Every structure is written in C-alpha cells, then in structure tokens.
Amino acid sequence: MSPLDTDEDVLIVLADSPETSQGWATLGARRWRCTVGEGGIREDKVEGDAATPAGEYPLRRIYFRNDRLVLPKVRLPTRPISEHDGWCDDPRSATYNRLVHVPNDWSAEKMWREDGLYDLVVVVGYNDDPPEGEWGSAIFLHIAREDYAPTKGCVAFSQADLLELVPLIGPQTRLRVLTLPASEQTAAASDGADVKVFEDFDEKDW
C-alpha cells in the first residue's frame, strides 16, 4: 500500500516541497492547508530541532480554551486548558513530554497562551509511551498563525479547519507524516509504475 493511499482513519501530512513548511493534511476525501516545523520533517528528530517527526502516530486527546471557543462534539478525550497548565520539554525530568502544573523546577512550555495558537490542541502520541531520551516533546495539532508560518515541530491549521477536523478523528485515527514532499511523492509513484511495467514484461513479447 502506498503511504499516500487515503483512509478515513489516517490523517496524512505532506509538505509541498523541501523549501517550504506549508503543505496539506488529508483525511479520506477531505484535505486542509497546514504547516509543519521550521526544522523540516525528520526521521531523526531530537529535542529543540524544531522539526516535525516523520512516521505514524496515534492521536491522544484534545485540550482547548473554553473561554475562547466552543468545542464541537468529538470522540477523543477532552480537557479545558487552565492558566497553570504546561508541557514539560526537559529531558532530565520524570515528567518529560507530559502535561504539568507550572511554574515548577523544570523547563515547560505554557499551554495558556495569548496568541491563540493553543486555543485548540490535539496531542500526538509521539515519544510518549514512555518518553525516552531527547527525541522531542510537545508534538501537537494546533492553530496556525495567519501566514502559516512554520511551527516548532507541530502541525498547524487555521482555527476554522481544525474545528472542522477534530470531530472526524477518534481513538483509532493515526497521524502519518511523510518525509517526501508532494513533488517527490509523485516522482516516486511514477518510478514505481515504470518498475511494475518492467516486472510484467514477458520474454515472449520481445
């Protein structure tokens, strides 16, 4: 099966080209504009590289600002974000890549933000079962800036698109982030077709 094959429970993220963070996310027959990390899409992601991890991951739960938006009916577990919520990004901590109370003794990213990027967050199950090494933390689906500027490693959407997406995902949904940009995926698919033609060749046709 090609990594581009559509599936109602696989959210496929693909950058437009190696030179841009912008791309598309596809779920079944639907797709939405998105942006990924300024460090690109990497199979060897580490903490602090601002890269989006390539691979396939579950989607865990939803956090949202109930003072700013009304969450539609969803299938993932949900929890409102509070002013003292943070996400630990310190590999030395036992709470690495976990929701924590802030402030505390370890480095953590604040979940309660003024810029609106975390008004709606879907937690990606990356390096969390259990968290290990310095492979990265706080990988989310969240709201993009108006210009779709690169993220620090997450996948970001417009607020309207993310609100449209979250009712469609559930406990069985997987996020599949592909390393090859769209242009190279097309070329790879063409190469595969050429190989198949050769494999089907019969000496009798010579």
Closest of 168, 182, 54 to residue 122, by C-alpha: 168
Would you state the structure tokens that stand for residue 189, as one six-digit string?
Answer: 């698919």
- Taking the C-alpha atoms of residue 120 and residue 20, their distance in angstroms, rounded to an integer, is 24
> What's the pTM?
0.86
Residue 8 banded pLDDT, cuts 50, 70, 90: confident
pLDDT at 206 > cutoff 60: no
- Taking the C-alpha atoms of residue 65 and residue 92, their distance in angstroms, rounded to an integer, is 29
- Taking the C-alpha atoms of residue 181 and residue 48, their distance in angstroms, rounded to an integer, is 23
More confident residue, 192 or 51: 51
Q: Please give the average per-residue pLDDT across 37-62, as a whole number.
A: 97
Q: What does the pLDDT read at residue 198?
A: 34
Query: What's the Cα-to-Cα distance from 105 to each of 54, 95, 100, 135, 150, rounded to whole Å?
Result: 31, 11, 11, 21, 29
Q: What does the pLDDT read at residue 74?
A: 98
Residue corresponding to tokens 């950058």: 15
For the chain, which domains are there? 10-191 (2.40.440.10)
Q: What does the pLDDT read at residue 193?
A: 43
- Taking the C-alpha atoms of residue 116 and residue 159, their distance in angstroms, rounded to an integer, is 9
Q: What does the pLDDT read at residue 143?
A: 98
More confident residue, 87 or 5: 87
Residue 7 banded pLDDT, cuts 50, 70, 90: confident
> What torsion, rounded to 10 degrees, do the Cα atoms 72, 75, 80, 81 define?
-110
- Taking the C-alpha atoms of residue 12 and residue 20, their distance in angstroms, rounded to an integer, is 17
Residue 202 banded pLDDT, cuts 50, 70, 90: very low
- Taking the C-alpha atoms of residue 60 and residue 46, their distance in angstroms, rounded to an integer, is 21
